[in-house]
């Protein structure tokens, strides 16, 4: 299939489609002025992006929804052209909270449905907001990262299959078109895939994926099970020392990527994105900078050779930038397993 700026969607196992590139919208809410995400999403849609990756825990879903609705209102796109991904945060895993949480996302976005809803992590956290019954009971705040008085994270018993059944009910109710997961390892994916009475399979797994962490084993397992991989941090992250493993050198300065980029008159970022897109891995680079939002979309006017693809695969260091070690003692921490 020839990929172009206008046509770059791939099929999902439920009959829907996903654009191979989306705009990531996570930035530290404390350091990001109001309106930044709004502008970025507008620029992205004007540039040609049709896929926006968001989450309630990014605390900007209202801005993202506003930008999408404004671009629909001014005639740039139709609702059916846009693919929006929302995420169920760790504090909302209990089945009775799943639908109200998705409804809260829809309320923030002011949209009738999301195209994709995914379980953001397999690690349930304690719900400090007891008695959530309606969407009004869900408010942004520190309760998204519950800790005890000693600063230790408070976890909640995880029942991924029960959470998944509540996700299935949201699809049946028409609130979401496709269902997926994120940060799940093979065992956790299998838990869902082998659930008795499974009604809707997860169509994708969103995980870290880029030339330094190419995910060969998980990718192969997912291919065998018709699960698409969506690669987060496809450029090697913002390198925020608060949560990024800085033992791994900056990927965009890699000499091999630099030389391949020079050959194609492209940037290393464009080469890193093209590498994944060309092998069917969806990428969701975050940028709130107009020039870089445009740069990251200019990946449909060149092609990496088979040799170049192999060379980039060879850069894999099997080291995560995003280890999430602060939750390594959670019983469902996904990254202790090989894949």
Active site residues: 58
What is the per-residue DSSP string for 137-206? G---SGGGS-B-TTSPBPB----HHHHHHHHHHHHHTTSEEEEEEES--HHHHHHHHT-TT--S---EEE
- Of the two residues 4 and 289, which places its CB atom closer to ligand A2P in the complex? 289
The span from the CA of 82 to the CA of 171, in Å, is: 18
Q: How far is the CB of 136 from ligand A2P (least distance, A)?
A: 31
Fill in the per-residue mask, 220 to 239: x = in contact with ligand A2P (CB under 6 A), - = not in contact: -------------x-x-xx-
Straight-line distance from the first to the last Cα atom of the chain, in angstroms, rounded to the nearest whole number? 29
Q: Specify the stretch interacting with ligand A2P by CB under 6 A; choose among 74-82, 101-109, 189-197, 281-289.
A: 281-289
Query: By Cβ distance, which residue is nearest to ligand A2P?
Result: 238
The span from the CA of 55 to the CA of 51, in Å, is: 13
Q: Specify the stretch interacting with ligand A2P by CB under 6 A; choose among 10-18, 93-101, 111-119, 285-293.
A: 285-293
Q: Tokens 């693919």 sit at which residue?
A: 83
Residue 252, interface with ligand A2P (CB under 6 A)?
Answer: yes
Residue 100, interface with ligand A2P (CB under 6 A)?
Answer: no
Q: What is the CA radius of gyration of the chain?
A: 19
Residue 123, interface with ligand A2P (CB under 6 A)?
Answer: no
Contact 129, 179 (CB under 8 A): no
Residue 269, interface with ligand A2P (CB under 6 A)?
Answer: yes
What is the per-residue DSSP string for 97-129? HHHHHHHHHHHHHT-S-EEEEEE--S--B---S
Fill in the per-residue mask, 16 to 35: x = in contact with ligand A2P (CB under 6 A), - = not in contact: --------x-x---------
Q: How far is the CB of 49 from ligand A2P (least distance, A)?
A: 13
Contact 245, 320 (CB under 8 A): yes
- Choose, by CB under 6 A, the member of 292, 316, 324, 335 that binds ligand A2P: 292
Residue 224 DSSP one-character state: H
- Of the two residues 178 and 287, which places its CB atom closer to ligand A2P in the complex? 287
- Choose, by CB under 6 A, the member of 289, 301, 310, 319 that binds ligand A2P: 289
Residue 208, interface with ligand A2P (CB under 6 A)?
Answer: no
- Of the two residues 27 and 102, which places its CB atom closer to ligand A2P in the complex? 27
User: Which class for 61: exposed (0-12), middle (13-18), buried (19 or more C-beta within 10 A)?
Assistant: buried
Q: How far is the CB of 283 from ligand A2P (least distance, A)?
A: 9
Give whole-number Cα distances, 249 to 207, 245, 321, in Å: 20, 9, 9
- Of the two residues 179 and 293, which places its CB atom closer to ligand A2P in the complex? 293
Q: How far is the CB of 154 from ligand A2P (least distance, A)?
A: 26
- Of the two residues 288 and 333, which places its CB atom closer to ligand A2P in the complex? 288
Contact 214, 189 (CB under 8 A): no
CB atoms within 10 A of CB 254: 20
Residues lying near ligand A2P in the complex (CB under 6 A) are found at 24, 26, 233, 235, 237-238, 252, 269, 285-289, 292, 295-296
């Amino acid at each position: 299939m020839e990929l172009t700026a206008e046509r770059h969607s791939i099929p999902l196992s439920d009959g829907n489609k996903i654009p191979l590139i989306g705009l990531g919208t996570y930035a530290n809410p404390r350091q990001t002025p109001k309106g930044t995400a709004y502008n970025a999403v507008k620029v992205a849609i004007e540039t040609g992006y049709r896929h926006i990756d968001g989450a309630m825990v990014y605390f900007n879903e209202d801005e993202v929804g506003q930008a999408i609705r404004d671009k629909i209102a001014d005639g740039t796109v139709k609702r059916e052209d846009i693919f929006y991904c929302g995420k169920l945060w760790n504090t909302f895993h209990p089945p009775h909270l799943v639908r109200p949480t998705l409804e809260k996302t829809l309320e923030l976005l002011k949209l009738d449905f999301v195209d994709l809803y995914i379980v953001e992590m397999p690690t349930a956290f304690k719900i400090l907001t007891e008695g959530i019954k309606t969407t009004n009971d869900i408010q942004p705040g520190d309760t998204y990262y519950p800790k005890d008085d000693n600063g230790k994270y408070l976890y909640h018993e995880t029942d991924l299959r029960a959470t998944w059944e509540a996700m299935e009910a949201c699809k049946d109710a028409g609130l979401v078109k496709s269902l997926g997961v994120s940060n799940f390892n093979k065992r956790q994916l299998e838990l869902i895939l082998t659930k008795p009475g499974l009604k809707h399979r997860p169509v994708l797994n969103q995980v870290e994926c880029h030339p330094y962490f190419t995910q060969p084993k998980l990718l192969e397992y997912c291919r065998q099970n018709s699960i698409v991989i969506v690669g987060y941090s496809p450029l090697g992250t913002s390198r925020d020392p608060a949560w990024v493993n800085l033992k791994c050198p900056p990927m965009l300065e890699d000499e091999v990527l630099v030389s391949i980029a020079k050959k194609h008159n492209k940037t290393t970022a464009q080469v890193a994105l093209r590498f994944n897109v060309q092998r069917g891995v969806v990428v969701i680079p975050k940028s709130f900078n107009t020039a870089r939002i445009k740069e990251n979309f200019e990946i449909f006017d060149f092609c990496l050779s088979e040799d170049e693809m192999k060379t980039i695969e060879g850069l894999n260091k099997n080291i995560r930038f995003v280890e999430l070690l602060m939750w390594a003692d959670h019983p469902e921490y996904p990254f202790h397993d090989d894949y």
